[in-house]
Structure 1
Amino acid sequence: MSRNRRATAGLSCVAAATWLSVSSGVPGPKARSTAIPRASELASSPPTVTTRKVTAAVTVGTVIEWYDFFLYGTAAALIFPKLFFPAGDPATSALLSFATFATGFAARPLGGFLFGHLGDRFGRKTVLIATLVLMAVATVGVGLLPTYSQIGVAAPILLVILRVVQGLGTGGEWGGAALMTKENGSRRPGFFGSFLSSAVSPASSSARSSTPDCPRS
């Protein structure tokens, strides 16, 4: 996996964020009504075009977001042990590399809390775009990061920091995308929300197939 591939993966998040801002059409927080619709009203109202557009937009954004997140796992197994953890024992280098991979999952709940709060204050759409851009910046940063042989111990430290940023972005994107899908007045919120869970599988498969040398079961 080349640096250009990882940088391109990050830039794809920027493109997704731009497309989301244009296509979702979700009103800001000031335009939203605080009234809770009745169950009978939700049952009688058909799915709106806005709901379908929002679902499509956040699903594409989720695919790209998780693609970047899982792409790090492939790099942690095949590339990062040699570039950032050149220990004498290859097993030790691999374990250290996978430890940085785990930090992203540890940061996800914090991202959900943080960006969920921000979404309540500034609107789901704005915060969701911010999480996509945050993931893009972190992924491009990983692709452009100097190696251990170039800047020493600062390289793995910066790698961990960028991985934490990826985790924050993914946690915020997932919760924001789910709420953005279900808060649009659809009479079938569970159906439209299920597309987010379905988006994780193609993201994982795409990240795995991005590296031909990745072992396959």
Structure 2
Amino acid sequence: MTKKERAAFVINTLKELYPQIPVPLDHKDPYTLLIAVLLSAQCTDVRVNQITPLLFAKADNPYDMVKLSIEEIKEIIRPCGLSPMKSKGIHGLSEILIAKHNGQVPQSFEELEALPAVGHKTASVVMSQAFNVPAFPVDTHIHRLMYRWDLSNGKNVVQTEKDAKAIFPKELWNDLHLQIIWYGREYSPARGWDLEKDIITRAIGRKKVLDEYYKKTSR
């Protein structure tokens, strides 16, 4: 298959598997999504969804969040990991939203990435999921699968995002990045990978990846 044909196969297969696409992180508005995405760094979405109700019960908007101390936020979010950095980021960005954005989450990549603890991936998730602006946030699943499917060279997430945006139609980015995440979790994980279950990689996977898999499983 050519790269274009592989991309089309991915699109069509994911449409069949995920006609309805759930959003991994529970939220009710752009602010709660922003906080949830920030908490998800090096933490599972399942754990984040367990912790955010506790945090949002006390503060689900920047005005209430700044009433909490950084230490109070840190204690609530501790199970998500990196709590010292994340708590400072949550408190700091809430102050900036009040001071510069009338308490609203800005709708631009530049302004989002200027907020404390908000990187390009977090900004991309918020832009796509909260504001429906085309973006292609790359997490570990997408990075892994773009390489397995021979659609990217796997050097780094910056290159993977560039390759994804070049090969997939812009109007599909917001759906595709979520579909690939769900597919990676269910069919093509990093650990416990079963190629028989992974229908996309089995059909179009990079030869080097397939050879390594069969070599490993034949021992």
TM-score, scaled relative to structure 1: 0.25
TM-score, scaled relative to structure 2: 0.25
Q: Which has the higher helix share?
A: 1
